[in-house]
């Protein structure tokens, strides 16, 4: 009885081990399914650049990848501002055994980026043909899709991108004032955090004023103004600059603002001079030089009250009335 029980238990253990063996073999032969790829956009980053060419550097890590993946089954693309996808080729691809991940490193140069804000998308799609039945030639195709975004700005026209602060403020004409002359004082001040900058070799400042227009810039940072713009002059002296002069303005209601343009030459060899612009506040004023509205003077339509003619007329009427009264009294006496 005892021997029978022992034999039964040994047989049962052997049977169970045989049943479990295929499961162990299957787990040993089959990698876990790869995870979704983790995309890291190393450059550009969320900042403002003062150049129109940027390097795109991307690293993509896919955990448990490496067994069922080849370059023909990997698709990595980028898109700038929702434009058509552009393939991003690998400059390096290796398997990191410590993290059990494949590492894709891609890089390319983005050239001719326009002024303004931009959105960059990087997407990765892997197609896996996974054997699910060892020795049975049974496969399934699995797809993983990942996407990452970064926003940045290109501003080559404004030195704000370099951390400078341009200010220009008009002190004359005075807002909402009526001037009795066509020669109006023009006064303004300009400053910028530029004199102590280590990356500026030299600069000059150009001033213009605009009459009866509105400030505006196109997508390339060039001024687009209505009204009349006139050049004041170009100055090579360091800021701050205080300007005082006068301009001729016709009668009527007017608006005015000042445009300042810095022409900057950076330090270093083979550096191109670039421009940076700023505008002042808009000042509204009135010119009324052709009329006089003084309270103690007469306008051209005012005339003195005709006291003398009226007095003469009253005297004549009085004489007529007197004569009529005398005639009337004489008739009654008769």
> CATH number of the domain that 65 lies in?
2.60.40.10
In terms of domains, do 180 and 141 share one?
A: no
Asked whether residue 176 is assigned to any structural domain, the reply reads yes
Average pLDDT estimate for 97-107 = 85
Strand segments, DSSP code E, in the chain are 38-43, 48-49, 54-63, 74-80, 86-87, 90-96, 101-110, 116-133, 138-154, 167-172, 178-179, 183-191, 200-211, 228-235, 241-248, 252-266, 274-279, 283-287
Q: Domain range spanning residue 32?
A: 27-154
Task: Give the number of other Cβ atoms within 10 Å of residue 65's Cβ.
Answer: 25
How high is the pLDDT of residue 242?
Answer: 94
Contact 260, 207 (CB under 8 A): yes
Winning range, highest mean pLDDT, from 66-80, 104-118, 298-312, 315-329 = 104-118
User: What would the pLDDT profile of 11-47 be if each residue is shown by its tens digit?
Assistant: 555 554 444 433 333 332 334 556 778 999 999 988 8
Q: Are residues 144 and 164 in the same domain?
A: no
Alpha carbon distance 99, 74 (integer Å)? 20
Q: Are residues 184 and 75 in the same domain?
A: no
Within-domain flag for 83: yes
Provide the edge-to-edge strand list for the sheet that holds 167-172.
167-172, 183-191, 241-248
What is the distance between the alpha carbons of residues 130 and 34, in angstroms, rounded to a whole number?
10
Higher pLDDT, 129 or 97: 97
Which whole number is the average pLDDT over 195-222?
79
**pLDDT, tens digit (0-9, with 9 covering 90-100), for 155-182:** 765 544 455 778 899 999 999 999 999 9
Contacts of 22 (CB under 8 A, 6+ apart): none
Q: How many residues does the chain have?
A: 334
State the CATH number of the domain containing residue 213.
2.60.40
Same domain for 42 and 140, yes or no, is yes
Same domain, 36 and 85: yes
Number of domains in the chain: 2
Bridge-partner residues for 79, per DSSP? 121
pLDDT of residue 8: 56
Residue 236 forms part of a structural domain = yes
Within a domain: residue 185? yes
Model's pTM, two decimal places? 0.42
Flag whether 213 is in a domain.
Answer: yes
3-state DSSP assignment of residue 17: helix
């Amino acid at each position: 009885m005892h021997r029978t029980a022992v034999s039964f238990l040994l047989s049962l253990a052997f049977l169970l081990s045989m049943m479990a063996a295929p499961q162990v073999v299957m787990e040993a032969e089959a990698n876990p399914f790869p995870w979704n790829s983790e995309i890291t956009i190393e450059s550009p980053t969320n900042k403002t650049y003062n150049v129109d060419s940027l390097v795109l550097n991307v690293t993509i890590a896919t955990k448990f990848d490496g067994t069922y993946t080849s370059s023909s089954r990997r698709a990595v693309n980028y898109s700038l501002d929702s434009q058509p996808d552009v393939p991003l080729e690998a400059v390096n691809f290796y398997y990191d055994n410590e993290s059990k991940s494949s590492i894709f490193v891609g890089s390319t140069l983005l050239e001719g980026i326009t002024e303004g804000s931009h959105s960059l998308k990087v997407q990765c799609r892997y197609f896996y043909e996974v054997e699910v039945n060892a020795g049975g030639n049974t496969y399934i195709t699995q797809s993983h899709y990942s996407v990452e975004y970064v926003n940045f700005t290109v501003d080559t026209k404004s030195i704000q991108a370099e951390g400078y602060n341009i200010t220009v403020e008009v002190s004359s004409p005075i807002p909402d004032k009526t001037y009795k002359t066509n020669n109006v004082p023009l006064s303004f001040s300009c400053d910028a955090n530029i004199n102590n900058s280590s990356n500026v070799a030299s600069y000059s400042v150009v001033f213009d004023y605009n009459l009866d227009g509105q400030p505006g810039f196109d997508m390339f940072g060039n001024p687009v103004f209505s009204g009349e713009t006139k050049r004041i002059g170009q100055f090579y002296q360091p800021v701050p600059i205080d300007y005082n002069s006068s301009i001729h303005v016709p009668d009527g209601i007017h608006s005015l603002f000042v445009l300042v343009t810095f022409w900057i030459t950076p330090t270093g060899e083979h550096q191109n001079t670039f421009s940076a612009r700023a505008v002042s506040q808009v000042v509204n004023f009135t010119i009324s030089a052709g009329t006089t509205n003084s309270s103690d003077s007469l306008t051209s339509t005012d005339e003195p009250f005709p006291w003398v003619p009226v007095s003469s007329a009253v005297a004549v009427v009085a004489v007529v009335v007197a004569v009529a009264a005398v005639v009337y009294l004489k008739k009654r006496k008769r």
